[in-house]
Amino acid sequence: MKRICKTLAALAFWALASAHAAYPEAPIKLVVGFPPGGGGDTYARLIAEHMGKSMGKTIIVDNKPGAGGNLAADNVAKSKADGYTLLFAMSGNIALAPVLRGDKLPYKSPDDFVLIGSAVEAPHGLFVSATSKYQTAKDFLAAAKTSELSFASTGAGGAAHIGMAMVVQSAKLRMLHVPYRGSGPAITDLIGGQVDSFFATAPPVMGQVKGGKLRLLAITGESRNPGMPDVPTFKELGIPVVVTQWYGLAAPAGTPAEAVDYLSHHLSQALASPELKQLIRQDGAVEVDRPKDKFRKYVANDIASYRKGVTPELVKAAAE
């Protein structure tokens, strides 16, 4: 009888081990809330490629743009929790959206997700034209306290709009928000002098800085960015706005722990790749490996930061 029990236990163990080893048996889909070619899409494809190499499996990027990334998040939240549908999570649809939308958000964040790990973090930056009279952030901020200046963003209610609005509120500035549909027209008007400044996630705009068309005055974050060490943070300028644009991986709540562990391990492996680090860092973003519980804690703190800084007036402005 004991021999039979041992045999059955061994069979159960090997059946469980075989099931674990079999994952993933099919390609994994990574849902991205941006159109192809956008900043977030670029990072998603880099992560998918390098995780695929680490896993020896295929990760397919599925673009579902719309509603500032909330459409993609809702799609994944309602997907089968089997480890084969993942979200390229970002600060906008995971941390900011629940603060701005509340009960109107079609999914609950972060409760409807299991957080696999963070991947990339990028600062928001305050840009002016290279011909602007404002040479430093101190010059610009001083002027914005005595006369109304304007700042462009890529849309009302986006992470960049809310980030700059928090700066305006904290520093008691006089600034007019001018929303645009995309960075292209915003940069064109900035260079042309129609707006005084542009607040956006920094890496996608750094090409314009390197090309001598724009000047970066200050960035968000806890400390200076290694890719732009001469640019001060708002925090060191006395403005405690540190919210950044971050990206990571999430799956529907209820996804098996074995799949989450597997994905988290291979995400960490990918982020340790010197090739991937170089690609991420080339324009000021940085790779950030926060596995599972560390990522969930970081997201909770980010949501708390937005709740602290987003006033009812900002919520109303974002809905307009």
pLDDT tens series, the chain, 320 aa: 545 544 444 444 444 444 445 899 999 999 999 888 876 899 999 999 999 999 999 999 999 988 889 999 999 999 999 999 999 999 999 999 999 999 999 999 999 999 999 999 999 999 999 999 999 999 999 999 999 999 999 888 888 899 999 999 999 999 999 998 888 899 999 999 999 999 999 998 999 999 999 999 999 999 999 889 999 999 999 999 999 999 999 999 999 999 999 999 999 999 999 999 999 998 899 999 999 999 999 999 999 989 988 888 777 766 65
pLDDT single digits (tens) 214-228: 999 999 999 999 889
> Looking at the domain assignment, is residue 226 inside a domain?
no
Q: Are residues 131 and 161 in the same domain?
A: yes
Total structural domains within the chain: 2
Per-residue HEC secondary structure of 49-89 comes to HHHHHHHCCCEEEEECCCHHHHHHHHHHHCCCCCCCEEEEE
User: What pLDDT score does 9 carry?
Assistant: 43
CB 175 within 8 A of CB 97: no
Q: Are residues 107 and 162 in the same domain?
A: no
Structure tokens at 248: 């990571």
Nearest to 228 by CA among 77, 144, 123, 107: 123
> Looking at the domain assignment, is residue 239 inside a domain?
no
Q: Give the residue numbers spanning the domain of 52.
A: 28-121+245-311
CB 43 within 8 A of CB 37: no
> Looking at the domain assignment, is residue 286 inside a domain?
yes
> Looking at the domain assignment, is residue 185 inside a domain?
yes
> Looking at the domain assignment, is residue 39 inside a domain?
yes
Q: Are residues 187 and 44 in the same domain?
A: no
pLDDT single digits (tens) 25-35: 999 999 999 88
